[in-house]
Amino acid sequence: MAWNRYWHHRGAAISTVVMAILSIIVILAPFTARYGVNEQVLHISEGNNVFLPPSKLAWFGTDDIGRDIYSRLIWGIRTSMFIGVASALLSVVFGTAAGALAGLRGGKFDDIMMRVTDIFLAFPFLVVVIIMRQFLGNISWLEPVLGPQTSIRFIIWLFAIFGWMGVARLVRSQVLVLKEREFIEAARAVGGSNLRIVVSHLLPNSIGPILVALTISVIGAIVGESTLAFFGLGPQPGSGGTSLGKLIELSKEGAKQGNWWLVAFPCGALVVLAIGINFIGDGLRDALDPKLDAGN
Amino acid sequence: MLRFIVRRALWLLPTIVFVTFLVYCAVRIGWDPVASYKRANPRASKAKMQQYREVNGLYDGFGGYLRGYKEWLWRFVQGPEQWSRSIKGRAEVWPPLRYAIFNTLRLAGIASVVGISVGLSLGVLAARHPGGWFDTTVNTAAFFLGSIPPFVSGVVLQLVFAVQLGWLPPVGVYPPGHEGFDLMLMLKHLTLPVTVVAIQTISAYSRYMRASLLDVSSADYLRTARAKGISEGAVLRRHGVRNALIPVVTVLAIDIGALLGGLIITENIFNYPGMGVFFIRASTNGDFPQMMPYLVIIVTSVLMFNLIADLAYAYLDPRIRLE
């Protein structure tokens, strides 16, 4: 049922195919990329290799030190997708646990948690992220867990620390509705523990919203990484890597100099990812929640 | 009702003080000016370090943060002339901040008016014939445009209209070296930043408005209004849109945070000398006397607009009772 409804959502179906192809290209980066991450398209002695417009030599042009944008995009999307998926999974795990706990127990814990998340979510994302990034990065005893401030691990944790709040609110509201239903009462009557009720009744019944939250978190983290990189605050994947954010950072200068390929391809890739993943989220919402139809 | 308002308003001040204290601690720990001073002057004597701490109010430990915050707050409430001076260069904080506030208010004001009015009208028009061609177009466009991060639309607009076509200036409020006030020139510089912010607002509000209007369109009072025989336009104006606006107004007040966040990005792309650029520069320098007034403004406006949202909701919808 849900499966059929999902594939009837035209945007979601097309996006799923596009995202699947993109994922394969990105996973097989060693074969699909034409050059290495830091490889120049030709040695400087063989001619100018800097800011070349798109050509046979470099499909998407070259950057300020003569590297192939096409290949770097593939490597960069690979890193960014990893950041997105990893931090989304972490957010969903923490958020679901916290939301289920708050919804089921209620009382003081619930009050305080909701108040804190309310305040956090009301503030401009960028301001909070900039402060938290600096704050967490400067606490030396957290470094063994979070990693250095400019590492990919740190960024994943940073987004997970924000992401769980939205998920927690969602799961909490779902739990509040569900826990009044008869089947939960029945489970309680036969002596089911809280943990058992959460794991085998509440979670399976909230899987729809959780899945939607997961997809939205993925794109949230990918866009978040690019936003931070735009301000030069993104992760520095080191000499062996790049990220979508690093490429987008370059497009800021590219636009002012009129090098259109430095803007078009990285930004285009980000927009394709954003629209694709949003469509998938939309499709999942429509498919998994029959009460909500497309709005007509 | 009045008691509720007074109680919430009284709570606002302690909340602001508490939240700004947390922000102060986070900023102090995060940027740690003492450590960077030590890095810059590795051979500074103990007495010199002590003097540096005293002058800037940088005391250690939790008690030290409390003391530092108290000193900072005391100077802050005494007015801009008394505000703590910036750590680097010991410059006054208020004059540049005031300039930035005016620039931001101008940008945010125009963008909000354009964005909200266009967005709401599109939402109303789209909801008139759900599923029609206009509705589908608006909905799809809003979905696509809303998915585009603001820095992408900013950079693309800058590239196309400023650099390639040369129709509009790429950065700033005025060309370098310009003095005095010039409305036309200013509007030209504002066009691109306003567009970037307005795109986000339009796509969000057209969708809110459409959904909200469709929600009320099946309500009994609309059927009654139609049964009375008044024209469709009057039904929509007097009964439909008014009721549909209730949830939209509250979203509007809560969205102030998102607007302020979007401004930081837009201002930085277009080198527009507003509060966002001010904050990014202050945070790059790690200068907490410069960051704090900006953060106080953010904290205050977010908390205040949240309160306004609650009150507006109760005022507009008599069914909501406030205890």
Cross-chain Cβ contact A126/B265 below 8 Å? yes
DSSP string over B65-87: HHHHHHHHHHHHHT-GGGSPPPT
Domain-located, residue A34: yes
**Distance (Å, whole) CA A64 – CA A54:** 14
On whether the CB atoms of residues B301 and B256 are closer than 8 A, the answer is: yes
Least confident of A283-292, B81-90, B96-105: A283-292
Domain-located, residue A46: no
Cβ neighbours of residue B252 closer than 8 Å, sequence gap 6 or more: B116, B205, B309
Cross-chain Cβ contact B260/A124 below 8 Å? yes
Closest among A88, A84, A76, A87 to A26, alpha carbons compared: A76
Cross-chain Cβ contact B155/A278 below 8 Å? no
Radius of gyration of chain B (CA): 24
**Distance (Å, whole) CA B19 – CA B12:** 10
Domain-located, residue A45: no
Cross-chain Cβ contact A226/B149 below 8 Å? yes
**Distance (Å, whole) CA B106 – CA B99:** 11
- On chain A, the residues whose CB falls within 8 A of the CB of B29 are 135, 138-139
* ipTM value greater than 0.90: no
**Distance (Å, whole) CA B78 – CA B48:** 29
Residues in chain A, total: 296
The domain in which residue B302 lies consists of: 104-316
How many domains would you assign to chain B? 2
Q: Report pLDDT for B113.
A: 92
- Most B-contacting residue of A133, A216, A267 (CB-CB within 10 A), to test interface: A267
Domain-located, residue A280: yes
Number of other residues whose CB lies within 10 A of the CB of residue A152: 21
Q: Report pLDDT for A290.
A: 54
Whether residues B194 and B264 share a domain: the answer is: yes
Phi, psi (rounded to 5 degrees) for A286: -65, -40
Instruction: Give the model confidence (pLDDT) of B125-151 as tens digits.
Output: 898 888 889 998 998 899 888 888 888
What letter does residue A198 receive in the DSSP assignment? I
Q: What is the mean pLDDT of residues B168-189?
A: 76
Domain-located, residue A184: yes
Domain-located, residue B242: yes
Distance from CA of A255 to the nearest CA of B (A): 5
Distance from CA of B11 to the nearest CA of A (A): 14
Closest among B131, B133, B127, B143 to B215, alpha carbons compared: B127
Q: Report pLDDT for A240.
A: 63
Q: Report pLDDT for A95.
A: 92
Cross-chain Cβ contact A258/B23 below 8 Å? no
Domain-located, residue B87: no
Cross-chain Cβ contact A274/B148 below 8 Å? yes
Domain-located, residue B95: no
Q: Report pLDDT for A208.
A: 83
**Distance (Å, whole) CA A246 – CA A263:** 12
**Distance (Å, whole) CA A70 – CA A62:** 8
**Distance (Å, whole) CA A225 – CA A208:** 26
What letter does residue B129 receive in the DSSP assignment? S
Q: Scanning every residue of chain A, which has its alpha carbon at the shortest distance from the alpha carbon of B151?
A: A227
Share the mean pLDDT of chain B. 84
**Distance (Å, whole) CA A248 – CA B211:** 34
Q: Scanning every residue of chain A, which has its alpha carbon at the shortest distance from the alpha carbon of B267?
A: A231
Asked whether the predicted pLDDT for residue B190 surpasses 60, the reply is yes
The domain in which residue A105 lies consists of: 2-38+56-292
- Most A-contacting residue of B25, B136, B156, B171 (CB-CB within 10 A), to test interface: B156
- Most B-contacting residue of A123, A251, A262, A279 (CB-CB within 10 A), to test interface: A123
Domain of A165, CATH number, reads: 1.10.3720.10
Q: Report pLDDT for B322.
A: 56
Domain of B128, CATH number, reads: 1.10.3720.10
CB pairs under 8 A between A and B: 116
Q: Report pLDDT for B202.
A: 92
Q: Scanning every residue of chain A, which has its alpha carbon at the shortest distance from the alpha carbon of B127?
A: A296
| Sign for the pseudo-dihedral over CA of B288, B289, B290, B292 | positive
Whether residues B130 and B259 share a domain: the answer is: yes
Write the single-letter amino acid at B124. V
How do the pLDDT tens digits run along chain A, 296 residues long? 777 888 888 888 888 888 899 888 888 877 877 777 777 777 777 777 777 777 777 778 777 777 888 888 888 898 899 999 999 999 999 999 898 888 888 788 888 888 888 778 878 888 888 999 988 888 878 888 888 888 888 899 999 988 898 889 888 888 888 888 888 888 888 887 878 888 888 888 888 888 888 998 999 999 999 988 888 888 877 656 788 888 888 887 777 777 888 888 888 899 999 999 988 988 888 887 655 444 43
How many domains would you assign to chain A? 1
Whether residues B208 and B288 share a domain: the answer is: yes
On whether the CB atoms of residues B138 and B126 are closer than 8 A, the answer is: yes
Cross-chain Cβ contact B31/A267 below 8 Å? no
Write the single-letter amino acid at A125. F
Integer angstrom CA distances of residue A198 from A160, A174, A181, B37, B187:
22, 12, 13, 52, 57
DSSP string over B265-282: HHHHHTT--SHHHHHHHH
Q: Report pLDDT for B285.
A: 82
Q: What is the mean pLDDT of residues B141-167?
A: 86
Cross-chain Cβ contact B30/A125 below 8 Å? no
Cross-chain Cβ contact A131/B147 below 8 Å? no
**Distance (Å, whole) CA A44 – CA A105:** 66
**Distance (Å, whole) CA B96 – CA B85:** 12
Closest among B99, B294, B103, B109 to A127, alpha carbons compared: B294
**Distance (Å, whole) CA A85 – CA A156:** 9
**Burial track B118-134 (b if 16+ CB lie within 10 A, e otherwise):** ebbebbbbbbbebeeee
Number of other residues whose CB lies within 10 A of the CB of residue A239: 8
Position of tokens 């989304």? A88
- On chain A, the residues whose CB falls within 8 A of the CB of B149 are 223, 226-227, 270-271, 274
**Distance (Å, whole) CA B255 – CA B164:** 34
Whether residues B75 and B214 share a domain: the answer is: no
Whether residues B192 and B70 share a domain: the answer is: no
Domain-located, residue B125: yes
- Tokens matching residue B159: 């590239």
**Distance (Å, whole) CA B231 – CA B222:** 12
Domain-located, residue A50: no
Cross-chain Cβ contact B30/A260 below 8 Å? no
Q: What is the mean pLDDT of residues B253-258?
A: 78
Domain-located, residue A183: yes
Cα B226 from chain centroid (whole Å) = 40
Instruction: Give the model confidence (pLDDT) of B116-127 as tens digits.
Output: 999 999 998 898
Q: Scanning every residue of chain A, which has its alpha carbon at the shortest distance from the alpha carbon of B25?
A: A135
Closest among B256, B297, B263, B299 to B280, alpha carbons compared: B263
- Tokens matching residue B133: 């061609």
Q: Scanning every residue of chain A, which has its alpha carbon at the shortest distance from the alpha carbon of B275?
A: A127
